[in-house]
Chain A
Amino acid sequence: MPRAYVPAAIARQPWSVLLPLIALVSFGAAVLDSAAGGRFEIWSLSHLFRFGVFLVVAMIIARLPRELFSKLAIPVYAGLCFLLVLVELIGGIGGGSQRWLNLGFMTLQPSELMKPGIVLVLAWFYSVLPIGETQSWRALLPAAVLLGIPAGLVMLQPDLGTGLAITFGAVVVMFLAGLPLRWFLGAGAAGLIAAPLAFFFLLHDYQRNRVLVFLDPESDPLGTGYHITQSKIAIGSGGIIGKGFGNGSQSHLNYLPEAHTDFVFATMAEEWGMLGGVFVLVVFGLIFRWGLKVATSAPDRFSRLLAAGMTMTIFFYMCINLMMVMGLAPVVGIPLPWMSHGGSSMMTNMICIGTIMAVERWNRAAPRTLS
């Protein structure tokens, strides 16, 4: 963009992420409009409105100083853990899986906030950890405790998808913090052994069933496999250029479940075809490339880990959602960032973006050091 012709206030904005975001959200709004049968006000309007609100929130986060982030890491983390316990207690009273906290004016899902929260607290932890200790157990044990509390609480809800997302964010931060590679390889090997055990002893029946059906969706075409089968039909029938805007029969005739939330990508692909799908992938690619670029040019260890961790958290969302929609992963309730209709995921993702934008601002303010 030729800076000379635009006002400084506008030129200063991080357009390399805002443009892809706006494209993605607008496209998402169009898809939601079609999924609602051409009624813009059902989902699209609130989708755009939330984006606007959380964009402002992200802008505000982006203006916060680095010190505030470091100082707030522990209180924010502790507060979120407290909310998770609270959710657990209320859930214990209410019975069943409790994920929401009713604040009166809105419903809050603390586990959602914990995704950026865990990245923040671990980035802080490794930034204060003496360099020499990174190869010892002292680098692992506190991090494991910091991760274990929220992850355990979320899994108890039970919410496997969010639990995995939190764990993934934490592991990425540990990985980037320079912990010995052999620990990760060892953990990976242990995971391979533990997975079958967990499958048979830890998972709930409905979760186990989801995994089984994922392995063979046709075994239960009208039950749990229905989601995967119908989603694949929607994507596959779209072809290269799709059935055309507003012509998706799978979504309009309700064959596709959750057409406006978890399976919004299938709704899109049916009407826009493979071209639409590739467009979404490319836009996501741009966002992730921006995130990692911000991370690598960050001035210090804390902001590096923070930016990379936030990027990978968003990536995890996208990756699991698209794999699920295309039949490469079991059905877990994880929405597609900026396209699925839903306030919580919009909030989490915009907090991540706001944090990365903040790191980008610090980059410009302070030249890169080795601290």
Chain B
Amino acid sequence: MRQKLPVTTAILTNRFERRTFVLGSLQTGVGLLLATRLGYLAVAQNEKYQAASESNRVNLTLIPPRRGWVLDRFGKALAANRADFRVDLIPDRVADPDKTMSMLAGLLALPPDKVRDVRDKLDKARGFQPVEVASSLDWEKFAAVSVRLPELPGVIPQRGYSRFYPAGASVGHLVGYVGAASAEDYEKERNPLLITPGFKIGKDGLEKHFEFRLRGVPGARRVEATASGRIVRDLGTREDVPGKPIALTINAGLQDYAARRIGLESGSVVVMDCETGDILAMASMPCFDPNSFSDGIGRIEWKMLSEDDHVPLRNKVLRGLYPPGSTVKPMVALSFLEAGLDPNASVGCSGGLRVGNRVFHCWNRRGHGSVDMAKGIYQSCDVYFYHFAQQIGMDKIAAMARRLGLGQEFPMPYPGQSYGTVPDPAWKLKKYSKEWAVYDTVNATIGQGYMLVNPLQQAIMASRIASGRQVMPRLLLDRNAPLPKPMGFSQEHLDYIHSAMSEVVNGRGTAGRARLPVDNVLLAGKTGTAQVVGLNIANGKSGAWKYRDHGHFICFAPFDKPKYACAVVIEHGGGSGAAYPIARDVMTYIFAPDKAMAVLEDFEKQWGGNVQQRMAARYDAFAARYGETTAKPLPDDEDLTERVEQGRKPAGDPQTVQTEAAAPAPEPEQPTGVTAKPAAAPAVANAVPGTNAGTVASTGGQ
């Protein structure tokens, strides 16, 4: 404004009118701006906001689908679902974790270690990943939580279905287990179902492999809900579509029996139909209980499983690798026969054989006298095989081993299987850049040295020898599958081997006590004792558990019309004497279940109950010892997966490969006529430490 002019009322009035006009224009401008903005929101972006409003209004709750059942060959459930009441927490919605947990602990009567487990998970869980607080609740507890919901934000009580494994630990490795989806699972799949409370995903075994077949299609409940989650009205419910069942070739009763019969030992039992390849039982014990694993692994349970030297987390059938010991002898003998060796060709056994400048001992230091092929098998004479293996050559033996399934990969629906090694000159050159030596052949023929197999392969070997058919292991039931092709062995040769194997059990052999208590059914088998460490460290029979010999037994029955084949491996059982009684009882179960059960019940009385009872007792002992102290917190989900994976890794190459002139471990029974003595006693009596062999062989390379 011009300062020099005197300001008058007229000027000010004029100025007022002008400025009022400015303000009026300002109002119009703001009005237009607001109208434009309104139009932009309500018209231009209407669709976007309508969708947002709809997603606010309508709350879609997924109903986890019922998982498909896992059935045995007779339609009996190995994994089923049962209706239950459960309580979950959504971490993002929990306002005060401490208060919420202490209230829940009171309402649900949770033990302190469980409360700590849930707190750990709650701290680690991301956002909307539900954390299970409790499941299988009774109605009273469920109702107690439900009525207090307004004070418990983030707590979701619901009724649904949970996975149930009627046989518990017996099928842990066979079926696997389920669990809440981890953050990685969700990253991978981006499926909202995965973070629906109560939904479980297959974590291991068949549950994991057949996840999509078993999963089904979730149902959905559409409700109109307020911002605070109060449901105003139901807009409709779509039923879930249950997952498809899978039928296995397993015989549930046999599976459970085999698992229970392993008892306190660490081992595995595989039973196959040797005509079709159907796997009837595949047990690895000790095992975790998939029922409690599926509820989430507690810290005490984790401590219990991870500190157990019997590695309950490893499926030993597919991931355990062992030197097969003498169980390879029928296979080696068959390779001799197929190579044209006369079975009557004999060698004199004086307790050892000099190969080059070393002496390889027979397990029986007093010698077997004159030994032909049959005697070589039923007496398990090492010298017979030392002698003729050199004559026939390793390539023929290795080819036969592979033909019968050793070292071969089988398409089983499990991750991370180990397939072992069948050594031959080419393999050794490639792996160790060393020439094959005669003593390598000698070691391989008695299933020691580089040779490593898993129990499934042993069962397949037994099946193929028994039926002469190229059986492949089959886990999924297919009643219309054609019989496998014959292997092309001469029936005469097979009969010879069969009768020698029958002699092992029913005659002058090493496993006389393995005879089946069933009329008209004869078992044919072969024992095996595999050394874990050199005799200079331990004698294999007593002393530290981890140095004891592995016990093996392969068998089939009936001997004259083979139908069932079985392989048993007992880790550090101290010799085959730990393995064949189990095989006998398992095979007995097939033909006379009552007799077998009576034997098992006697054993379980000595062992302190059945598997469930023993695990419960062990859990209680651990809980009493570590429950109050701050036990190591549970590894988080990723870490846990990794560690379970580690636990499952195969034993790997044996710590020290016994390629030297191993002194074969004594077979458990006296060759002839000794019947009255208990299994372990003669073994110890016969164990003559072969220190001289060890020193002689000390120059041998590895």
Contacts and interface: CB of A to CB of B under 8 A. Distances in A.
B26 to A, nearest CB: 9
Given A253-B57, A305-B16, 15 more contacts: A135-B1, A180-B1, A235-B38, A249-B56, A253-B56, A255-B57, A277-B42, A281-B31, A281-B34, A285-B27, A315-B27, A315-B30, A328-B33, A328-B37, A370-B10
A182 B6 CA distance: 18
A172 interface: yes
18 contacts: A131-B9, A135-B3, A175-B19, A178-B7, A178-B19, A236-B41, A237-B54, A253-B56, A253-B57, A253-B224, A255-B226, A273-B42, A277-B38, A281-B31, A288-B24, A308-B16, A323-B34, A327-B41
Interface in A267-298: 269-270, 273-274, 277-278, 281, 284-285, 288-289, 292, 295-296
Nearest 8 interchain pairs by C-beta: A236-B49, A237-B53, A249-B57, A274-B42, A178-B12, A236-B41, A178-B15, A254-B227
A131 B49 contact: no
Given A132-B7, A296-B20, A274 B232 contact: no
Contacts of B34: 281, 319, 322-323, 326, 328
B503 to A, nearest CB: 79
Contacts of B50: 236-237, 239
Contacts of B11: 178
A233 B49 contact: yes
A274 to B, nearest CB: 4
Which of B10, B56, B228 has the most C-beta atoms of chain A within 10 angstroms of its own C-beta? B56
B42 A236 contact: yes
Contact of A278 (B38, B49, B224): B38
Contacts of A304: 13, 16
A135 B7 contact: yes
Contacts of B225: 253
A36 to B, nearest CB: 15
A288 B49 contact: no
A237 B37 contact: no
A177 B9 CA distance: 11
Interface in A127-185: 131-132, 134-135, 172, 175-178, 180-182
Given A249-B56, A253-B226, A176 B42 contact: no
B43 A255 contact: no
A371 interface: yes
B226 A254 contact: yes
Interface in B629-644: none
Interface string B28-54: 101101110111011101101110111
A295 B31 contact: no
B17 interface: yes
Which bucket holds chain B's interface residue count? Answer: 35 or more
A349 interface: no
A250 interface: yes
A57 to B, nearest CB: 26
Contacts of A175: 19, 23
A237 B227 contact: no
B483 to A, nearest CB: 65
Contacts of B54: 237
Interface in B45-98: 45-46, 48-50, 52-54, 56-57
A278 B41 CA distance: 13
B8 interface: yes
Given A296-B20, A323-B34, A254 B49 contact: no
B43 A240 contact: yes
B12 to A, nearest CB: 4
A370 B13 contact: yes
Contacts of B12: 131, 134, 177-178, 301
Contacts of B27: 285, 288, 292, 315
A312 interface: yes
A326 B38 contact: yes
Which of B33, B34, B43, B54 has the most C-beta atoms of chain A within 10 angstroms of its own C-beta? B34
Contacts of A99: none
B647 to A, nearest CB: 41
Contacts of B10: 370
Interface string A227-261: 00010111111111000000001100111000000
B35 A235 contact: no
A249 B53 CA distance: 7
Contact of A285 (B31, B37, B41, B43): B31
B20 A326 contact: no
Given A232-B49, A323-B34, A176 B19 contact: yes
A235 B49 contact: yes
A290 to B, nearest CB: 12
Contacts of B56: 230, 233, 249-250, 253, 255
Given A176-B16, A233-B52, A236-B46, A269 B38 contact: yes
Contacts of A327: 37, 41
A235 B227 contact: no
Contacts of B224: 249, 253
A176 B21 CA distance: 10
Contacts of B48: 236
B41 A326 contact: yes
A272 to B, nearest CB: 10
Given A134-B7, A292-B20, A295-B20, A240 B53 contact: no
B38 A233 contact: no
Interface string B340-359: 00000000000000000000
Contacts of A277: 35, 38, 42
A202 B503 CA distance: 99
A366 B23 CA distance: 26
A328 B35 CA distance: 12
B33 to A, nearest CB: 8
A253 B7 contact: no
A56 B398 CA distance: 111
Which of B8, B24, B48 has the most C-beta atoms of chain A within 10 angstroms of its own C-beta? B24
A239 B232 contact: no
Contact of B42 (A134, A239, A285, A292): A239
A249 B88 CA distance: 29
A47 to B, nearest CB: 23
Interface string B630-667: 00000000000000000000000000000000000000
A256 to B, nearest CB: 9
Contacts of A295: 20
Contacts of A273: 42
A188 B56 CA distance: 42
Contact of A274 (B17, B38, B227): B38
Interface string B211-252: 000000000000011111000100000000000000000000
A225 B341 CA distance: 89
Interface in A305-321: 305, 308, 312, 315, 319
Interface in B345-401: none
B35 A278 contact: yes
Nearest to B232: A253
A301 B35 CA distance: 34
A319 B38 CA distance: 13
Given A274-B43, A277-B42, A172 B7 contact: no
A237 B6 contact: no
Given A176-B19, A326-B37, A239 B227 contact: no
Given A235-B41, A269-B42, A274-B38, A181 B1 contact: yes
A349 to B, nearest CB: 16
Nearest to B58: A249
B40 to A, nearest CB: 9
Given A253-B226, A304-B16, A238 B57 contact: no
A200 B53 CA distance: 35
A250 B24 contact: no
Contacts of B37: 326-328
A284 B38 CA distance: 15
Interface in A60-78: none
Contacts of A270: 53
Contacts of A255: 53, 56-57, 226-227
